[in-house]
């Protein structure tokens, strides 16, 4: 009899759940709107309903054929106590999610911070598979991260660690919502790239990039400067070069602290592949403290993309064995 697990990606906008087999493949998935604000018990009921739906559609008996359910969600998530201590999007504090879900479901439930769960997904089934020391970096609206040390998710003594986006690369630099100035994500996130692209365009009203976005600043995104660079535009090339240096600066910091075997880069801008990673690698090659060493950190693109969170959450039971 095949045994399955369920991974849940509990976000502020959507709740996504996937039925995952023993080979870490998503066999089926369902989702619904999170519909915040709403009380905790309603969100718990929605998660339970999605899990039941997955079992039913696959003709599985929840009690005997679903080994565990893992939930990844933003905020300070304590995997040991099963409590979501703080989640700004949801407005909940000290939410005993595991005990609530275990009352609704006939199997063990595990929770983890969503970025950590996604990193774990890349470790068990994606670009960092087999690398016991790995870091997953997501360049998105901000910069998310997950750190794997000796096969275990590392998030500090209080489960609030791995906030790699909020490490400062420019002292006294751009203000960040976290209260600091000069955080890495204010320079090297996809959003920062789009903002820097627009700022450069505003200085050059005749630049080719204005034609890419039909004159509409709202259409500038993380791809705009890369497209201009491919077309041989000097301004686009300059914006990309600055971005590459910002990305490389933060990555070199991570490498010098952790020397992970693999760093995998996710988020939409990672689709640029070697156009982004090759110049980033070139800067890291000049700055990595261990650059003369025989064994060097590999910087690669993430493999599981949007599925990483569900696959990682579905595999969380193995973190607790
Ligand atoms: Zn910050």
* Helices 97-104/40-57 angle, 10° precision: 50
| CATH code matching the domain that covers 4-124+307-320, chosen among 3.30.420.40, 3.20.20.140, 3.40.50.10320, 1.10.357.10 | 3.30.420.40
Mean pLDDT, the chain, integer:
96
Torsion 174-180-182-184 (CA) sign: negative
pLDDT on residue 89: 81
pLDDT on residue 87: 84
Q: How far is the CA of 235 from the centre of ligand 1 (A)?
A: 28
Q: How far is the CA of 175 from the centre of ligand 1 (A)?
A: 8
Residue 1 has pLDDT above 80, yes or no: no
Q: What is the average pLDDT across 14-30? A: 97
Q: How far apart are CA 304 and CA 127, in angstroms?
A: 8
Q: How far is the CA of 198 from the centre of ligand 1 (A)?
A: 21
Q: How far is the CA of 299 from the centre of ligand 1 (A)?
A: 24
Q: How far is the CA of 183 from the centre of ligand 1 (A)?
A: 5
Q: How far is the CA of 304 from the centre of ligand 1 (A)?
A: 26
Which pLDDT band holds residue 321 (cuts at 50, 70, 90)? confident
Q: What is the average pLDDT across 227-242? A: 98
Q: Classify domain 130-303 at the CATH superfamily level.
A: ATPase, nucleotide binding domain (3.30.420.40)
Q: How far is the CA of 149 from the centre of ligand 1 (A)?
A: 24
Q: How far is the CA of 173 from the centre of ligand 1 (A)?
A: 11
Q: How far is the CA of 127 from the centre of ligand 1 (A)?
A: 27
- The pocket of ion ligand 1, defined by CB under 5 A, consists of 166, 176, 178, 180, 183
Evaluate whether 309 touches 114 at the Cβ level (below 8 Å).
yes
Q: What is the average pLDDT across 215-241? A: 98
* CA distances (Å), origin 142, targets 9, 19, 115, 256, 299: 18, 29, 12, 22, 19
- List, for residues 131-182, the tens digit of each pLDDT value: 999 999 999 999 999 999 999 999 999 998 999 999 999 999 999 999 999 9
Q: How far is the CA of 25 from the centre of ligand 1 (A)?
A: 35
Instruction: Name the one residue in this structure whose structure tokens are 């491919």.
Output: 230
- List, for residues 176-199, the tens digit of each pLDDT value: 999 999 999 999 999 999 999 999
- List, for residues 240-283, the tens digit of each pLDDT value: 999 999 999 999 999 999 999 999 999 989 999 999 999 999 99
Spans of all domains in the chain:
4-124+307-320, 130-303
- List, for residues 38-55, the tens digit of each pLDDT value: 999 999 999 999 999 999
Q: How far apart are CA 183 and CA 187, in angstroms?
A: 7
Classify each residue of 8-42 as buried b or exposed e, where b means 16 or more C-beta atoms within 10 Å of its C-beta.
bbbbeeebbbbbbeeebebebbbeeebeeeeeeee
pLDDT on residue 2: 78
Q: What is the average pLDDT across 115-121? A: 97
Which pLDDT band holds residue 285 (cuts at 50, 70, 90)? very high
Please name which of 213, 220, 223, 216 lies closest in space to residue 198, comparing C-alpha atoms: 220
Residue 88 has pLDDT above 90, yes or no: no
Q: How far is the CA of 141 from the centre of ligand 1 (A)?
A: 12
């Amino acid at each position: 009899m095949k045994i399955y697990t369920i991974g849940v990606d509990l976000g502020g906008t959507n709740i996504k759940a996937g039925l995952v087999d023993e080979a870490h493949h998503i066999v089926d998935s369902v989702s619904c709107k999170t519909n915040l604000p709403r009380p905790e018990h309603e969100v718990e009921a929605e998660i339970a309903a999605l899990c039941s739906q997955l079992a039913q559609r696959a003709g599985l008996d929840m009690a005997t054929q679903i080994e565990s359910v893992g939930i990844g969600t933003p905020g300070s998530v304590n995997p040991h106590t099963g409590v979501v201590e703080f989640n700004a999007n949801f407005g909940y504090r000290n939410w005993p999610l595991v005990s609530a879900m275990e009352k609704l479901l006939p199997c063990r439930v595990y929770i983890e911070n969503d970025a950590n769960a996604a990193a774990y997904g890349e470790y068990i089934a994606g670009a960092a598979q087999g690398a016991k020391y790995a870091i997953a970096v997501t360049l998105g609206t901000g910069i998310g991260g997950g750190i794997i040390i000796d096969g275990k998710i590392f998030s500090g003594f209080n489960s609030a660690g791995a906030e790699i986006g909020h490490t400062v690369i420019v002292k006294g630099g751009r203000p960040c919502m976290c209260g600091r100035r000069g955080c890495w994500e204010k320079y090297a996130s996809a959003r920062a790239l789009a903002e820097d692209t627009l700022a450069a365009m505003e200085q050059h009203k005749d630049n080719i990039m204005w034609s890419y976005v039909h004159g509409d600043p709202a259409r500038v995104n993380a791809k705009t400067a890369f497209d201009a660079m491919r077309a041989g535009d000097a301004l686009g090339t300059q914006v990309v070069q600055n971005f590459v240096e910002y990305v490389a600066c933060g990555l070199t910091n991570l490498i010098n602290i952790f020397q992970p075997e693999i760093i995998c880069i996710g988020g939409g801008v990672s689709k640029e592949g070697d156009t982004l990673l090759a110049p980033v690698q070139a800067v890291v090659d000049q700055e990595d403290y261990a650059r003369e060493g025989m064994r060097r950190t590999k910087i690669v693109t993430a493999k599981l993309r949007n599925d990483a969170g569900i696959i990682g959450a579905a595999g969380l039971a193995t973190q607790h064995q």
